[in-house]
Amino acid sequence: RSCSPVRTCRRASTSHRPCLIARFSSLYSQERVEAETNLRAYVCSAEMAQRIIYAAVVESFCVAKIAFWKVKIHVKEVLALDHLGPDALEVAALEYIACHKNLHDVCHSVEEVICCMNRNPTIACPSHVDFCVIRTFIRELCCLAFTMQTLIPPLDIAIGVDGEVYNKTMYYRSCNSDFTSSVVAYHIWPALMENGVVVVKGEVVTRS
pTM of structure: 0.89
SS3 category, 50 = helix
Give the torsion sign (CA, 153, 50, 42, 128). positive
The answer to whether 126 and 43 are in contact (CB under 8 A) is yes
- Which CATH architecture describes the domain 154-207? Roll (2.30)
pLDDT digits (tens, 9 = 90+) for 175-198: 999 999 999 999 999 999 999 999
The whole-angstrom separation of Cα 56 and Cα 128 is 19
pLDDT of residue 69: 96
pLDDT digits (tens, 9 = 90+) for 131-163: 999 999 999 999 999 999 999 999 999 999 999
Q: H-type helices in the chain, by residue range?
A: 5-26, 32-40, 46-79, 86-99, 106-118, 135-148
**What are the domain boundaries of the chain?**
5-152, 154-207
pLDDT digits (tens, 9 = 90+) for 44-54: 889 999 999 99
Rg, the chain, Cα only: 19
pLDDT of residue 81: 77
**Predicted confidence band at 84 (pLDDT cuts at 50, 70, 90)?**
low
Judged against a pLDDT cut of 70, whether residue 21 lies above it is answered with: yes
Length of the chain: 208
Judged against a pLDDT cut of 60, whether residue 39 lies above it is answered with: yes
